[in-house]
Structure 1
């Protein structure tokens, strides 16, 4: 039995649906862009007068939303949340489902080690994450270029997709780590998603109150600020923090899944 192929087949429909969701978000989001370009100065003035708390909740940063690049930066926040939710749920479910669906005994009696099982499952999850990221990249470039009017946006979008991929990996391994440690396989995805939403709420709180700036180091949604990423690319510290968390959660996944008593 090839576990990798089995998982790829099992998640084929899911990745198609998530890709369609990305298409809808990008197409519908950029479709609203024309309403921001009619009176450029007045729209920027309106956004400038908007309360800081409301701008933080809505995801409005200091981007110029009258340009295709700036407007996509606003839209990217929501794409990032979608991609992170997909990764967190995938990481949790791909390990927990064997116990949840009562198929763990069938899998574990095969002549394959738990290390190999986890590796095959995570490899399949990684491919799914790559596919969703690649689809989002292609769709973003294709759709945003229709509104760019000469702007060079491909490079900026590519950098944002690199940031998204790192965040996807972070939540993928967070989800798998929770599934490996948790005693209730049915709750793993919910816990992983709750942690994701909590970190996003923290990022909003940081935007609302400068006194909470120290919290930006515990929320991945502040590691790759859109405007800073546009201007300076990926920050080495943010990449290093992300890779450290990924490495820790990958280690947790292998260690705890290898020792746990599986419910059959």
Structure 2
């Protein structure tokens, strides 16, 4: 339990900074809504955009002049930010003992490596949950301040639930890379590279429908924004498979960390 609190204390400042940045992202993004909802020049710009540009911006067929469509557009960047936080947190929380030369102190304690990883993953899980909660509350507050149409609180909750699953996937991905790579110090760069690659894939498949099969490689495409906006909710099958994927990465983290030769 002491290791759990130790990890939370170590990540406290970073979590506060990320939470503040997420609030500012939501607030600044929602501040642009009136430019499009009023049906003025901003709205016309979106209407005149080629479909390829709309796909790259994450607009697609979304109606950004209404709150549900605009929030879906903004959510793309919210989710990307949360995923970056999760993947970097997952890699750093496992690799930092070797990076900071404190691995000998930790391994020498009368606890198993499995207990060490459990404490680290639970601390990381709580941190991404806090960031998700901050984003959820920020979204409720800012949307209510600008929304003059129907209440979309249910849609926001579904968006944030899908984001939490994506956070879990990238958190566990970062952790398994740090545990499995021979040089865990480079796991952060590798994890960030994979995240960027998966985001690029999500944009490529938006541009070319015939490449939709590649969506399996991008957690950003596991949950359909249009489906949420249209009231279809989240796919239970995809939800279960995503949790299983995160669980598999977590299990591999235990396996690789238990087998690795820790550098002191």
| Residue in 1 that maps onto 2:24 | 24
Match of 2:9? 9
Matched, 1:249 2:241: no
Q: Is the 8 A contact 1:30 1:143 kept in 2?
A: yes
Deviation at 1:237, TM superposition (A): 2.8
Moved over 6 A (4+): none
Q: Please say if 1:169 is aligned against 2:176.
A: no
Aligned to 1:240: 240
Q: Give a deviation string over 1:223-242, Cα, whole Å, max 9, x none.
A: 11211122211112321331
Q: Does 1:191 align with 2:193?
A: no
Q: Conserved in 2, the CA contact under 8 Å of 1:44 and 1:64?
A: no
Q: Name whichever of 104-113 and 57-66 sits farther off.
A: 57-66
Q: CA RMSD in A?
A: 1.4
Unaligned runs of 5+ in 1: none
- Structure-1 residue corresponding to 2:80: 81
1:108 maps to what in 2?
Answer: 107
The Cα shift of 1:140 comes to 0.4
In the alignment, what sits opposite 1:145? 144
Indicate if the aligned counterparts of 1:170 and 1:242 stay in contact, CA closer than 8 A. Answer: yes
Q: Is the 8 Å Cα contact of residues 206 and 216 (structure 1) preserved in structure 2?
A: yes
List per-residue Cα deviations over 1:19-56 (Å, max 9, x = no partner): 1111111111111111112226x765643442222112
Within a 5 Å distance, the mapping from 1:29-48 to structure 2 comes to: 29-39=29-39, 46-48=45-47
Per the alignment, residue 122 of structure 1 pairs with 121
Q: CA deviation at 1:149?
A: 1.1
Q: Within 2, Cα distance between the matches of 1:95 and 1:242?
A: 22
Q: Which consecutive unaligned segments of at least 5 residues does structure 2 have?
A: none
Cα distance in 1, alignment partners of residues 165 and 259 from structure 2: 28
TM value normalised by structure 1: 0.96
Aligned to 2:262: 262
Residue aligning to 2:226: 227
Query: Contact conserved, 2:178 with 2:185, CA < 8 A, in 1?
Result: no
Task: State the alpha-carbon separation in 2 of the partners of residues 189 and 120 from structure 1.
Answer: 20
In the TM superposition, what whole-angstrom CA distance separates every residue of 1:136-174 from its partner, at most 9, and x where no partner exists?
Answer: 000000011111114211111001010000000000000
Asked if structure 2 preserves the Cα contact closer than 8 Å seen for 1:200 and 1:221, the reply is yes
Aligned residues: 263
Range moving further from structure 2, 42-51 or 96-105: 42-51
Note if contact 2:37-2:43 (Cα within 8 Å) is conserved in structure 1. Answer: no
SS of corresponding position for 2:150: coil
TM-score (norm 2): 0.96
Tell me the distance in 2 between the aligned counterparts of 1:32 and 1:44: 11
